[in-house]
């Protein structure tokens, strides 16, 4: 049974940045409600948006834009090369090749439905299929050779039909092959009151317990888990076919499940608590921003993330409160954030004399950003975050 626990109101499509001449046009909105399937414990958004509307030839997110992500992919590639013998590797959701590029072109294949991104790796001569992942594609790609490793980061949580996904993965994976999945962790999301993990593209936020329940249906099993700090707290799951004798199940799996159970991930009450914390977070953030504005300080935003879209629209924050956002992504610059219609400007090093407060939209890159803006902070410039509760840092 699916039980709703949070309503984040009407939201636009998170990555649909607006051109100036479209500002007056009515945007497509959808009701962002979140619930849990009490049988599998899978947390998902209730209403979904057709994938073609989100993942097309204009997808504005590049993994390579962040040093943190590039390092995370590099480190994993080294680990795979050292620990897991493989003939060939397949990546589902290869984006602009931030992971792919760590491997020899002969050993890796990418699948990326956003055509503006798929062309980037194609140009670099990496075999890239500009398609959505499904059984037909899996058969086509692995007709001659099955993949020894399938990797997918921040992609499966974006795909509605998990049955098709896992069926296709089973078609493509060799008998003793390994599936490595990486997605935001529900436990971290609940602990950090990171309600902005929910937006149109994030159909699911997985817990280990829910993922294990789903994988069981496909005779797949998690044998190791790593906790990552990327994307606001993620888990990297190492998965094998249940019947494969290779790769013994490690203690990390039991440990993670215990952590989740201790937090009450299997109890509906935990989700109602989360709802209350989210409501409080909204009130507190609005109060904080208003107090700053009342003192005649100006506020800008840093990192026009998809997550920010949820926060801005849920809290009804617009350009009367945040003057504009800085972002490094070319495709977002000189456009407006959906819903809130706040302008996104090309990133410039923060200048304490121009603005005293900066709302940290890209809170998931806090350490990278704080390092970069050391001088702004040292001069007295302040960041505002809503994670794990609204405060000035």
328 binds ligand TMP (CB under 6 A): yes
Rounded CA gap, 144 and 195, in Å?
Answer: 44
347 binds ligand TMP (CB under 6 A): yes
CA-nearest of 221, 222, 225 to 243 is 221
329 binds ligand TMP (CB under 6 A): yes
Yes or no: say if 107 and 126 are a contact pair by the CB < 8 Å rule. Answer: no
Dig out the tokens for 288 from the structure.
Answer: 């904080």
DSSP labels for 81-107? Answer: HHH---S-EEEES-TTSTTGGGS-GGG
Q: Shortest Cβ distance from residue 326 to ligand TMP (Å)?
A: 6
Q: Which is nearer to ligand TMP, 65 or 135 (CB)?
A: 65
Give the distance from CA 95 to its chain's centroid.
13
**Candidate list 158, 191, 368, 377; residue touching ligand TMP; CB under 6 A:** 368
Yes or no: say if 17 and 338 are a contact pair by the CB < 8 Å rule. Answer: yes
**Candidate list 305, 310, 313, 340; residue touching ligand TMP; CB under 6 A:** 305
Find the part of the chain contacting ligand TMP (CB under 6 A) among 141-149, 175-183, 221-229, 359-367: 359-367
Tokens 């998990």 locate to 162
198 binds ligand TMP (CB under 6 A): no
Helix locations, the chain, DSSP H:
51-54, 67-83, 115-123, 135-141, 162-172, 186-191, 208-217, 251-263, 268-294, 306-315, 366-372, 374-378
Q: Which is nearer to ligand TMP, 181 or 265 (CB)?
A: 181
307 binds ligand TMP (CB under 6 A): yes
157 binds ligand TMP (CB under 6 A): no
Q: Shortest Cβ distance from residue 332 to ligand TMP (Å)?
A: 6
**Closest-approach residue to ligand TMP (CB):** 303
Asked if the bond preceding 214 is cis, omega within 30° of 0, the reply is no
121 binds ligand TMP (CB under 6 A): no
Q: Shortest Cβ distance from residue 12 to ligand TMP (Å)?
A: 16
365 binds ligand TMP (CB under 6 A): yes
Yes or no: say if 306 and 15 are a contact pair by the CB < 8 Å rule. Answer: yes
327 binds ligand TMP (CB under 6 A): yes
Yes or no: say if 311 and 359 are a contact pair by the CB < 8 Å rule. Answer: no
**Candidate list 306, 309, 342, 358; residue touching ligand TMP; CB under 6 A:** 306
Q: Shortest Cβ distance from residue 369 to ligand TMP (Å)?
A: 5
Q: Shortest Cβ distance from residue 312 to ligand TMP (Å)?
A: 14
Sheet holding 29-37, edge to edge: 2-12, 29-37, 42-45, 204-205
Tokens 């007295």 locate to 380
* Interacting residues with ligand TMP between 58 and 77 (CB under 6 A): 61, 65-66
159 binds ligand TMP (CB under 6 A): no
Q: Which is nearer to ligand TMP, 112 or 327 (CB)?
A: 327
Question: Which residues are near ligand TMP by CB under 6 A?
Answer: 61, 65-66, 303-307, 327-329, 332, 347, 362, 364-365, 368-369, 372
């Amino acid at each position: 049974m699916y039980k709703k626990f949070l309503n984040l109101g009407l939201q636009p499509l998170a990555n649909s940045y607006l051109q100036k001449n479209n500002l007056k046009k009515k945007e497509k909105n959808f009701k962002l409600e979140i619930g849990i399937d009490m049988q599998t414990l899978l947390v998902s958004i209730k209403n979904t948006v057709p994938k073609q509307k989100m993942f097309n030839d204009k997808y504005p997110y590049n993994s390579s834009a962040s040093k943190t992500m590039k390092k995370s992919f590099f480190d994993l590639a080294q680990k795979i090369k050292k620990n897991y013998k493989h003939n060939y590797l397949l990546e589902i959701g290869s984006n602009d090749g931030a992971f792919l590029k760590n491997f020899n072109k002969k050993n890796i294949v990418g699948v990326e439905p956003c055509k503006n991104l798929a062309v980037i790796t194609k140009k670099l001569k990496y075999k890239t299929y500009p398609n959505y992942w499904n059984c037909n594609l899996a058969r086509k790609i692995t007709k001659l050779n099955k993949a020894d490793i399938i990797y997918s980061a921040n992609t499966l949580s974006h795909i509605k039909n998990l049955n098709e996904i896992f069926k296709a993965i089973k078609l493509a994976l060799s008998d003793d092959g390994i599936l490595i999945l990486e997605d935001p962790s529900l436990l971290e999301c609940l602990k950090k009151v990171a309600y902005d993990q929910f937006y149109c593209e994030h159909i699911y936020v997985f817990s280990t317990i829910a993922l294990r329940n789903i994988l069981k249906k496909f005779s797949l099993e998690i044998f190791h888990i790593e906790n990552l700090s990327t994307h606001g707290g993620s888990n990297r799951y190492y998965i094998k076919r249940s019947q494969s004798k290779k790769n013994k199940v490690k203690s990390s799996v039991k440990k993670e499940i215990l952590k989740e159970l201790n937090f009450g991930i299997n109890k509906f009450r935990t989700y109602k608590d989360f709802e209350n914390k989210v409501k409080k977070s909204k009130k507190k953030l609005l109060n904080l921003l208003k107090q700053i504005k009342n003192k005649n300080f100006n506020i800008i935003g840093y990192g026009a993330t998809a997550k920010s879209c949820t926060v801005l629209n849920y809290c009804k924050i617009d350009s009367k409160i945040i003057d504009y956002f800085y972002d490094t992504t070319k495709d977002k610059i000189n456009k407006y954030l959906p819903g809130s219609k706040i302008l996104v400007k090309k990133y410039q090093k923060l200048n304490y004399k121009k603005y005293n407060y900066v709302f940290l939209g890209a809170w998931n890159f806090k350490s990278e950003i704080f390092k970069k803006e050391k001088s702004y902070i040292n001069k007295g410039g302040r960041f505002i975050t809503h994670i794990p509760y609204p405060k000035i840092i």
